[in-house]
Structure 1
Amino acid sequence: MVKHAVCIHGHFYQPPRENPWLGEVGVQRSAAPYHDWNERVTAECYAPNTAARILDDDGLIEELVNTCSRISFTAAPTLFSWLERHRPDIYGAILDADRASRERYGGHGSAIACCYSHAIMPLATRRDKRAQVAWGVRDFTARFGREPEGIWLSETAVDIESLDLMAAAGIRYTILAPHQAAGVRVIGEEGWTDVSGGRVETRMPYLCRLPSGRSITVFFYNGTIARDVAFGDLLSDGRRFADRLLGAFSWERGRPELVHIATDAETYGHHRTFGEMALARCLRVIEAQSDVRLTVYGEYLDGHPPTHEALVREGTSWSCAHGVERWRGECGCRTGREPGWSQAWRCPLREAIVMVRDALAPRTEEALAAGVRDAAADLVLGRWSDESVAAFFSRHAPGGIDAEGRRRVLSLLELERQAMLMQTSCGWFFDDITEPGSVQVMRHAKRAMDLARQVLDLDIEAAFVEILRRAPVNDPRYATGAEVYEALVRTAAVDLSRIAAGAALYALFGLEHPAAASGMYAVHGDWPYRLNAEERRLLGTVRVRSRATGEEALFDAAACFDGLDRVVIGVREPGGGETFRTVWEGSDPAGAIAGTFSRVYTAPDLSDEERWTIAREIAPGIGDAVSRVYRDSAALIGTLDDLAIPLPGAVARLLAHARAEWLFAMLEEGCTDPERFYVLAEEVRGESIEPDLAALGEAASRRITLALRAASARPNDPAPLEEVSRIVGCAKVFPLPLALWESQNICVGMRGHYAEVRERAGRGDGGAERWAEAFRRAAACLGVRVT
C-alpha cells in the first residue's frame, strides 16, 4: 500500500436564494448577464469542473476531466436541489462523478453530506442540530444512493454536541481547520500536547471521543496551502499546485501521511478564473506519481485508522478569528469591500431570528408527533408531489387523517423548514443587513411567522420588527433593519391571490408561473375569453393550491397588457357571468378590470422577476419592428445613398441596425454564404454605430452547438461539421465572443468515432475522408486536439 496520499476537498455550496413563498430564485441584477447567482456560479464553476480542460503544449484541448470524480466535495442540499431542477445535466454529471469515484477509491465516494441549511451549528439548539443532520443525511442518501461517510460543518463551525449527533447518525468523519485543534495525544496515553494556534500535525486523522461514548474522526487540513489556493496565486499553474502538495510530505519519517486541503469549491473557476483547469492539471500530475496516491477521506481512513486522538476547540470556525462571533456580533470579520462599515447590525438580526426560533419551536414540537419533523425531508425531496405527500401520511398517519388535519401538518412542517432556512450562515457573513444573504434569512423568518399566524394563531411579527429597529444600516437608503424589512422583505411576500394574478400575466405569454415551475404550487388556469398574441387580453379562472401547505383557492382573474407600462391585472372571488361580459365586451377593458375586480395590480406592482420575464418575451419583437421599418423605407434609403445625400442620424442608425439583424439571421442559418457575410460585415464595420457583438456571439455560439449536436447524431454526415468551420470563420471577422464549452465537450466525445472513420478513409473510402477532414477542421476551429 502506498504510504503517501493526497486529498483535495472542495466545499460546493450556494445559499438558499428562492423566494420562500414561490420556491424559485428571482432575477438578481448583480449577477448579470446571468439571471441569478446560482446560474452564474454554475456557468463559471460547477459546469466547468465536470469537464475541466487539460491543454497540450499547443494550447489545444487534450483531455476533459470531471474533477468531481477525483476530489472530495460537499454536496450541499440548497445547491443540489437547485441544480437538480435547473441544470439536470450538471447535476447528473456530478452524481456520475461520485459513482466513478467509488470505483476509483475502493467503494468510497467523493461526495460528503452537509448540514441541511448551512446553519452555524454551535449557535443552534440541540433540536435544530438534530434536524440539520437528519435532513442533510436524508438529502444526501436520496441523491447519491448511499449513506454519507462524512458531513461538512457549515463554516467548519464546531461544537461537541453537533459532533455527537453526527456520530449518532452514522457519520465517520468531518473536516476542520488546523487552528480548531486544542490538544492531541497517542491513543492510550494520558497527557495531552497543546497544539493550539494551528500547530497540529495535519498529515494524519485524529479520533475525537464524545461524551456519549461514541467517537468521530477529524481531519485537520493543511491551512497554509489552502490559504494559498483560496487567496494566493497557486492556481495560476496546475503543476506548481501539485508540486506544493507533493512537497508537503515529510518523506524521511517513513510513516503513512495524508496531505490534504479544504477550500470553497467555487475557488476553482468562480473566484479564480480557469481555476478548474489548474485543478485538473494538478490531479493529473499527482496521479502520475508512483509513490503517491490520490484519495478521498473515506478510503484513507479505511487503510489508516487514527493512531492519535484530538481535543477540538468548541465554538470555532474556519472564517472567523473570533470563534463564531461573525454570525452574532461585531467582531471585525468582514469581506473588506467597504472598510468603514459597521457590523453592529449582526447582533439584533441574530436576536430577532432567535426570538422567532424560540417562540415557534415549543408550539410546533407540541403539535407534531415525535420524529415527523426529521422525516419531512422526504416531502421536500419529492417537491410536495401528490405521491410524496400520500406516502408521507401513509407512514406517519396510518390510521388516517382528514383534509384539515393534513393541511395543518403540512403547514407546520413548512413552518419548520422555513425556521431552519432562516438560520443560514450567509445572513451574517457579509457587510450589511441590506446584503442578499441577510434579506434572505429575514424573508424565511417572515414566511415562518406568516404560517405561525395562520396555523398556530401566533403573531410575533411586530416583535421581530421592533428588534430590527435596533439594527443600524450602512446603506444610506435605510436607517434601520426595520426599514430594510419593510422595503425588501414584505414586498417579496405573496398570497394565493397574488399568485393567481401572476398566473394570468404569465398566461398572456404562454408561460408557466414560477410558483408552479418550482413544484410548490399547483396552478391551473382556464381562459375561455382570450385574444391572440397581438392583443394580449384574457379572462377566466385560476385555481391555486399550495402543495407545501395544502392551502387552496379559486379566483376569477383578468389581465390586459398593452406594454410594460400599461399592465392591468384583476383578481377576485369567483363571480362569473355578467362580470365576465362587462370586462370582455367593453371598449375599455383596463378600466373595466379596475372597476370590477377587488384586487387590481398595475405595472408598478410587478416584481423584478415578472418584468424581466416579460421583457425577454417581447424584446425580440423590437428588433423585428425596426427591421420592418427599414424594409418599408429601403428604396428611399437606397436612393439617398446613391445620390450621396447624407442620411439623417436616425436613418443611419436604422440602416446599421438592419444590417446587424441580417448578420444575426445569417449566423442563425449557419452562414451558408460566407462571402455575403463578409461583405455585409464590412458594411456594418463601416457604420458609425457598433453592432451588438455579444448578441451576435451568442447567436453564433448557439448555432455551433446545434451543429455539433447534429454531427454527433449523424456520425457519417460531414455537413454539420463543415457548418461549424464556416460559422467560426465568419465570427472571426469582428471577432465575436464565442461560448464553446458545450461544443468542445461534444467534439472531444467524437474523437473515438474520428479514429474509426480515419481508418476507413485510409482504405479508400471517399465519404469517410470528407468526414474526417471536416472533423479535423471543426476541431481546429474549436481548439480541440483530434489525436
Structure 2
Amino acid sequence: MRAVCIHGHFYQPPRENPWLGEVGVQRSAAPYHDWNERVTAECYAPNTAARILDDDGMIEELVNNYARISFTAAPTLFAWLERHRPDIYGAILDADRESRERYGGHGSAIACCYNHVIMPLAARRDKRAQVAWGVRDFASRFGREPEGMWLPETAVDIESLEALAAAGIRFTILAPHQAAGVRAIGEDGWMDVSGGGVETRMPYLCRLPSGRSIAVFFYDGTIARDVAFGDLLSDGRRLADRLTGAFSRERGRPELVHIATDAETYGHHREFGEMALARCLRAIEAHRDIRLTVYGEYLAAHPPTHEALVREETSWSCAHGIERWRGECGCHTGKELGWSQAWRGPLREAIEMVRDALAPRSEEALALLVRDPAEARDNAVDLVLARWSDESVAAFFSRHAPGGIDAEGRRRALSLLEAERQAMLMQTSCGWFFDDITEPGGVQVMRHAKRAMDIARQAFGLDLEARFVEILRRAPVNDPRYATGAEVYDVLVRPAAADLPRIAAGTALYALFGLDHPAAASGIYDVAGDWPYRLNAKERRILGTVRVRCRATGEEALFDAAVCFSGIDRVVIGVREDGGGEAFWTVWESSDPAGAIAGAFSRVYTAPDLSDEERWTIAREIAPGIGDAVCAVYRDAMPTIGALDDLGIPAPGAAVRLLAHARAERLLAMIGEGCPDPGLFYALAEEMRAGSIEPDLAALGEAASRRITFALRAAAARPDDPAPLEEVSRIVGCAKIFPLLLALWESQNICVGMRGHYAEVRERAGRGDGGAERWTEAFGRAAACLGVRVT
C-alpha cells in the first residue's frame, strides 16, 4: 500500500476574557471583531467548501477538505466554533463522519492536549489533566474516542508520551529531527538518526518505561517546510506531484508519505491555500496505485516494524529544543528584528510560581470536599463542556462527593476547580511564542494567572499577586510604551478583571441598548436584570436591580444599578449592593442624574472605565443614528443648496459633503431593496462620478454582498421562483459600475447546492414548461454572475 496523508494542525489559543468567557474586540484583527473571526473567515470556513475551478476560472466543485485530510481538533478552537460558528463547526463534524466511511472506520480528526501547554514544561499533574481533558473534549464532540493526539508544538518528553499511552492514545506525530535512534523490532543495536535522517515513510513503535507503548509518525520535514514557507501552495497539482514523487523506488513494502503543518497555512497564511489543497487532494485521488489515508487507517493496516527513541525536550518550532517557551533562544517570528526575548524567562518563572504555589493548597482544600481531588480535577472538563449547567454540577458532585456536600462546600469546590482551570490556561504556549510580552499571547496568559490568583485569594487567603508582579519587574519589554512586564500587567491585565459589581455595571449599560451582557452570553454567568425605571430619549437612563451568579464558582450577589448615557464619552454607571428603591428616586428625579449617581452609589464607572468591547458594542449601536442625523440635516438644507445651485453660487464644502452622504445613502437603500430599477442606480452613480463624489465603496460592497446572500437564501427556500435569482443578477450588474468588492462565499455555496435542482428544472423546461424555462434562464445568469459553472 502506497499512501499519502496530509495533516493540518487546526488551533487557536484561548482568547476569552477569563472573567467573562467571551473574546473582546481585537483591533489588530480589523475589519473583523477578533482573530478567531478573522482566521475562521480566511481558513476554517473556506476549508469546508474549498473551490476547484475549471479552465475558465468558474467554480466546478466544492470540497470539504476536512473529510480527506488528517487534522487536529484543538479544544480551545472548537469550543469557540461551536458557539460562534455552528455552521462551520457542524460541517467539520460531518467531515469526520464522512472520513470514517472513506477510511475504514478511522476518522480524520485527532485530539489535542487541552489548551496547548508545552508538555515537557508542565507538572506531571497538569500533563495528566491536559490529556484527560483533551480526550474528553474530543469524545464529546466527535462521538468517538480519539486514536491519536497532537502534542502542542510537537514538544515531547517520555512523561508526556506515558500520559498519552495511559489514556489509550495509539499514536502521535513528531518532526523528523525529534527522532534519536531507530531499529527493527527484535534487533539489539540502535541506528543514530538524531541529525534528522529518520526514514519518515513508516510508523515507529516507542516503548515506554511503564511497559506501555505508543506509535510515532515522523513527518516529511522537507515537504512540510516547503508547504509552510515555500511556494508549493501556488499550484495544487505541483504539491500533489511532490507528495506522490516522494515514495522510494522499492515497491515491495508499504509506504506512507505524510506531512504536518499549521493548518492555518491553507487560507490564512497563504491566500487561496485551501483551493490548492483541494486541487492536490483531487489529483492524488486520481492515482490508481496511490491512495489518500489518515494515520489511524494506515496504522491499523501496517503496524510498526521498527521502533524509535525520541529526543526529549524538542519541538517542531524551536531549533533549541523548547527554549522558545522559557528563555532567550533567538527564535522569533521575524516581524521585529533586534527585539530581545529576555522577557520569556521571568514570565515563565512568574507563571510557574503561581502554578506551584496553588497546586498543593488546592489539592489540600479539595480533599476536604471530594473523594479524590485528582480524579475530580480530571473530570471537571465535563463542567466546562456543559457551561456549568445546574444539571452538570449536580451530576458532578453526585459522582465525586457521594456522601453529600452542602451549598457552601459546593461553591468552594467550584471555585477551587475554576482556579485550577485558569492555572492550566495560563500555561498556554502562545504566551511565549511571539516577540514581546505585550502581544496578545503574553497578555492573555497573565490575565489567566490573575484570575487564578484572585480566586486563590478569595478561596483560602493565598495572596500571590505581589510576588507575581515583582518577578515581572525583571521582564524587559521591547514596546517603548512600557519599561517592564510589571507595567504591562498594570495597564493591560488589571483593567480586564471583572468582579460581580463590574459585571452588574456592564449589564446595566448593555440593557440600556436592549443587549445581553457577554458574560451571560458565554454561559459562565446567570444575569437577571429588572429595570422598572427606563428613559430612552435624548438622554438615556436606566435604573433597576441586577442579580449576577457566576456558574463557574457559585459566587452570586444582588445589586442596584443605574446608568446615565448622553454620549459614549459622557456615561456614568453606578452600582451598589441592593439597598431598596431610595437611590432610584434620587437619580430619577434629579436634574443632574450623573451627579446623583455619583452621590448615591458606592461604585461609579465613567467613560474611561469602559472596556474596548463595551465601547465597540455601544458605538455600533449608535452609529446608524449618526447617518440618520446627517440625512436629516441634508433634508433641511436641501432647499437652500438648491437655491444656491440655481443662482450659480458655489455651495459650501460642508453642503457638498452632505450631498455626497445623502446620495451614498440612497445607493445603499437601492441595494437593500434589491436594485429594482438598475437604470436609476446607474444614473445616480454616474451623477456622483460626474461630481467627483467618491462613495464608501466598502459599505456598498458589504451591503451588496448581504443582499445577494439574502436573495440566494430566498431562491433556495422558493425553488421555483425566479425572482430572487433575477435580483442577484441585477445587484451584481449594479456592483460592477464602481466596481465593488463582493464577498460571495456563502452565496456561491448556496448556488452550487442548487445545481441538482437546476438539472431537474431544465428537464421540465425542455418539455415546454414556460415557468421552468424562465427559472433556468434566471439561474444560469445568476450562477454566471457568481462564477459558478452549472453545466
TM-score range for the pair, normalised by the shorter chain length: over 0.9
1:522 paired to 2:520: no
C-alpha displacement of 1:60: 0.3
Write out per-residue CA displacement over residues 525-579 of structure 1, whole angstroms, 9 at most, x where no aligned residue.
Answer: 0000011355421100000000000000000000011111110100011122322
Write out per-residue CA displacement over residues 402-437 of structure 1, whole angstroms, 9 at most, x where no aligned residue.
Answer: 110110010001000000000000011011111110
Distance 2:25 2:77 in 1: 17
1:548-697 paired onto structure 2 within 5 Å: 548-697=552-701
1:383-402 paired onto structure 2 within 5 Å: 383-402=387-406
- Say if 1:509 and 1:533, in contact at 8 Å, map to a contact too: no
Distance 2:535 2:470 in 1: 49
Query: What residue in structure 1 maps to residue 326 of structure 2?
Result: 328
1:420 paired to 2:418: no
Query: What residue in structure 1 maps to residue 475 of structure 2?
Result: 471
1:44-59 paired onto structure 2 within 5 Å: 44-59=42-57
C-alpha displacement of 1:622: 0.7
Query: What residue in structure 2 maps to residue 90 of structure 1?
Result: 88
Distance 1:692 1:336 in 2: 35
Write out per-residue CA displacement over residues 583-619 of structure 1, whole angstroms, 9 at most, x where no aligned residue.
Answer: 1112111111111111111111100000000001111
- Say if 1:508 and 1:533, in contact at 8 Å, map to a contact too: no
Distance 1:476 1:619 in 2: 34
Aligned-residue sequence identity (percent) comes to 86
Match of 2:541 among 517, 526, 537: 537
Query: What residue in structure 1 maps to residue 495 of structure 2?
Result: 491
Match of 1:231 among 209, 213, 229: 229
1:112-127 paired onto structure 2 within 5 Å: 112-127=110-125
- Say if 2:538 and 2:566, in contact at 8 Å, map to a contact too: no
Distance 1:7 1:52 in 2: 18
1:378 paired to 2:382: yes
Give the secondary-structure state (helix, strand or coil) at the position aligned to 2:548: strand
Root-mean-square deviation (Å) = 0.8
Query: What residue in structure 2 maps to residue 199 of structure 1?
Result: 197
AA matched with 2:175: A
Give the secondary-structure state (helix, strand or coil) at the position aligned to 2:604: strand
Distance 1:342 1:11 in 2: 28
Give the secondary-structure state (helix, strand or coil) at the position aligned to 1:162: helix
Distance 1:103 1:263 in 2: 25
Match of 2:724 among 720, 726, 737: 720
Give the secondary-structure state (helix, strand or coil) at the position aligned to 1:73: strand
1:25-64 paired onto structure 2 within 5 Å: 25-64=23-62
AA matched with 1:641: D
Query: What residue in structure 1 maps to residue 257 of structure 2?
Result: 259
Query: What residue in structure 2 maps to residue 762 of structure 1?
Result: 766
Distance 1:634 1:671 in 2: 25
1:158-237 paired onto structure 2 within 5 Å: 158-237=156-235
Change (3 A) 1:389 1:287: same
Runs of 4+ in 1 over 6 A off after TM superposition: none
Query: What residue in structure 2 maps to residue 430 of structure 1?
Result: 434
Give the secondary-structure state (helix, strand or coil) at the position aligned to 1:444: helix
- Say if 2:346 and 2:475, in contact at 8 Å, map to a contact too: yes
- Say if 1:656 and 1:687, in contact at 8 Å, map to a contact too: no
Give the secondary-structure state (helix, strand or coil) at the position aligned to 1:391: helix
TM-score normalised to structure 2 length? 0.99
Distance 1:389 1:4 in 2: 50
C-alpha displacement of 1:247: 0.6
C-alpha displacement of 1:635: 2.1
AA matched with 1:554: L
Moved more, 758-767 or 581-590: 581-590
Match of 1:137 among 135, 138, 150: 135
1:454 paired to 2:458: yes
Give the secondary-structure state (helix, strand or coil) at the position aligned to 2:12: coil
AA matched with 2:364: E
C-alpha displacement of 1:689: 4.0
Match of 1:65 among 63, 66, 73: 63
Query: What residue in structure 2 maps to residue 346 of structure 1?
Result: 344
AA matched with 1:650: A
C-alpha displacement of 1:336: 1.3
AA matched with 1:542: V
Match of 1:75 among 73, 83, 86: 73
Query: What residue in structure 2 maps to residue 102 of structure 1?
Result: 100
Write out per-residue CA displacement over residues 668-723 of structure 1, whole angstroms, 9 at most, x where no aligned residue.
Answer: 11001100000011122233442110011000000000000000000000000000
User: Which structure 1 residue ranges, 5 or more long, are not aligned?
Assistant: none
- Say if 2:545 and 2:561, in contact at 8 Å, map to a contact too: yes
Distance 2:466 2:683 in 1: 68
Write out per-residue CA displacement over residues 120-172 of structure 1, whole angstroms, 9 at most, x where no aligned residue.
Answer: 00011111000000000000000000000000000000001110110110000
Distance 2:580 2:696 in 1: 49
